[in-house]
């Protein structure tokens, strides 16, 4: 294929591969959400299955119940926000790794949280809800597919193969790509978006939005001596606490702690299908 013609194909594909996030932000989307969900499911089963085999999933019943309850309340609100996500195979794994301060959510609601976040940050329930709400928001806003798309667009050779075979995204839209996407840093735009959606989910689920500020203060305090892995994939601009504080004021109409809050039923163990 002529090189100039190839570049024309690339430019045309990139121009036509745009989507709009829940907050109205334009996103590059070479990989469909369905593809990202399928790939994430494969990656999750492989990763969590191996962790289970190696005995690295937490067996702390009280901790698992705490995580499931908080996450279940958030998922209920996520489904109200995006009804189509009721079909997702929501699950959360509690990984027994006290040295790792991290949590993530793949496309399709496949989540994990490391015991290091609990041990080192010592979050209140309200703060833990901010962590999981933020992660769920990455899935709601289709950030996995977006990161996979950016990675795909960054490699002209891979993208050229996709175009030449009329299969855009196929080369990287596999389990490996989904697994890598979890480790890639989110853009500041994506982080701002997840902050906005996450604090709303938490407030609607009955968790104090002010905890978003205290959580990030704890994260920043920890990062001075031992930067948590969480911050490597979640860029932490200096004005984040200020931005979160501004969001707290906007959440007053959503936060009703005394109300009854529905809890999506998680089974205490991550799904393997």
* Tens digits of residue pLDDT in 26-44: 666 667 788 888 888 999 9
Q: How far apart are CA 117 and CA 265, in angstroms?
A: 23
pLDDT of residue 67: 98
Residues listed for the chain: 273
Q: Pull the structure tokens for residue 13.
A: 């594909």
pTM as predicted: 0.80
pLDDT band at 269 (very low <50, low <70, confident <90, very high): low
- Computed over every residue of the chain, the mean pLDDT equals 80
Active-site residue list: 135
pLDDT in tens, 169-222: 443 444 554 555 555 556 777 888 999 999 999 999 999 999 999 998 898 888
Per domain, the residue ranges of the chain are 23-250
Bigger pLDDT: 218 vs 271: 218
In the numeric block, which tokens belong to residue 5?
Answer: 């013609």
Quote the pLDDT of residue 236.
64
Give the C-alpha distances (Å, rounded to integers) separating 129 from 28, 104, 151.
Answer: 29, 13, 30
Specify the DSSP class assigned to residue 210.
T
Q: What is the DSSP letter of 185?
A: P
d(CA 241, CA 199): 13
Q: Is the dihedral of CA 130, 105, 20, 159 positive or negative?
A: positive
Percent of the chain topping pLDDT 70: 67
Write down the pLDDT at residue 31: 73
- Say what the pLDDT of residue 131 is: 97
DSSP per-residue letters across 41-64: HHHHHHHHHHHHHTT-B---HHHH
Q: Is 38 helix (H, G, I), strand (E, B) or coil?
A: helix
Question: What distance in Å separates the CA atoms of residue 115 and residue 95, rounded to the nearest whole number?
Answer: 6
Residue 13, pLDDT above cutoff 60? no
Helix (H, G, I), strand (E, B) or coil at 67: helix
- How many whole angstroms from its chain centre is CA 44? 13
What integer pLDDT is reported at residue 12 of this predicted model?
45
Residue 241: which pLDDT band, with cuts at 50, 70 and 90?
Answer: confident
- Give the pLDDT confidence score for residue 148 in this predicted structure: 73
Region 88-93: mean pLDDT is 96
Residue in 193, 218, 209, 192 with CA at minimum distance from that of residue 249: 209
Average pLDDT over residues 230-240: 68
Chain centroid, CA 121 distance in Å:
19
pLDDT of 75 strictly over 90? yes
Between strands 26-28 and 91-95, the pairing is unpaired
Under the banding of pLDDT at 50, 70 and 90, the label for residue 92 is: very high
């Amino acid at each position: 294929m002529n090189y100039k013609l190839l570049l024309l194909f690339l430019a045309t594909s990139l121009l036509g591969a745009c989507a709009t996030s829940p907050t109205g932000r334009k996103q590059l989307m070479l990989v469909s959400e369905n593809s990202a969900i399928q790939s994430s499911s494969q990656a999750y089963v492989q990763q969590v299955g191996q962790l289970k085999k190696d005995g690295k999933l937490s067996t702390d019943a009280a901790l698992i119940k705490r995580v499931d309850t908080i996450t279940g309340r958030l998922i209920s609100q996520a489904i109200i926000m995006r009804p189509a996500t009721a079909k997702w195979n929501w699950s959360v794994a509690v990984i027994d790794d006290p040295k790792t301060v991290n949590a993530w959510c793949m496309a399709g609601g496949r989540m994990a949280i490391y015991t290091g976040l609990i041990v080192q940050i010592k979050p209140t329930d309200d703060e833990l809800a901010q962590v999981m709400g933020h992660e769920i928001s990455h899935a709601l806003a289709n950030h996995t597919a977006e990161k996979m798309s950016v990675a795909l667009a960054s490699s002209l050779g891979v993208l050229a193969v996709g175009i030449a075979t009329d299969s855009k995204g196929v080369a990287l839209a596999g389990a490996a790509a989904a697994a890598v996407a979890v480790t890639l840093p989110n853009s500041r735009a994506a982080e701002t978006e997840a902050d906005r959606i996450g604090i709303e989910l938490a407030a609607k689920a009955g968790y104090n939005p002010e905890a978003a500020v205290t959580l990030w203060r704890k994260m920043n305090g920890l990062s001075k001596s031992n930067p948590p892995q969480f911050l490597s994939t979640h860029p932490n601009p200096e004005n984040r606490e200020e931005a979160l504080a501004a969001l707290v004021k906007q959440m007053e109409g959503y936060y009703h702690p005394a109300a009854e809050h529905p809890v999506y039923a998680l089974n205490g163990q991550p799904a393997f299908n």
